[in-house]
Amino acid sequence: MLAQTANRAKLAPSQIIRRGFSSTQVQRSSPFHYPEGPRSNIPFNPQTRFFAVRYWGFMATGFGIPFALAGKTNMATDERTALTEAYSLANIQKLIPRKGGGCEWRSHEHRHKEQIVHMTG
């Protein structure tokens, strides 16, 4: 078993030499070949006049969008909380008519003072 591995290891470099790596000439007429060279593999031209403005604008947008969305989500949550507080059971019960026949809009302390005045008077 070890002898087979040793034989393969011994033959490997000679096979690589015989293999003769080669490449074909670039065919510019092919629609699948793209231009070669520096700055040819990026989708923008860094040699234009406004490259820095576009680049940093793109970076700021990409960095800022997640924070903007998170802030918008928090605002929506705050609005939902405000709505649920406005229509909570305790707030609705304040508007329910009592024995007096009308809605009681006054505070508890104000009603208590009226009861004391009514009892004494």
DSSP letter at 102 equals S
For 87-102, write each residue's pLDDT tens digit: 666 666 666 666 655 5
- Looking at the whole model, is its pTM more than 0.95? no
Distance between CA atoms of 118 and 121, rounded to whole angstroms?
Answer: 5
> How far is the C-alpha of 45 from the C-alpha of 49, rounded, in Å?
10
Residue spans of the domains in the chain: they are 53-121
Instruction: Of 115, 117, 113, 97, give the one whose Cα is nearest residue 105.
Output: 97
Task: Summarize the confidence of residues 71-85 as an average pLDDT.
Answer: 68
**Is it the case that residue 53 has pLDDT exceeding 80?**
yes
Q: What is the dihedral of CA 25, 28, 34, 38, to 10 degrees?
A: 70
- Residue 104, classified by CB atoms within 10 Å of its CB into exposed (0-12), middle (13-18) or buried (19+), is middle
Whether the CB-CB separation of 106 and 100 falls below 8 Å is answered with no
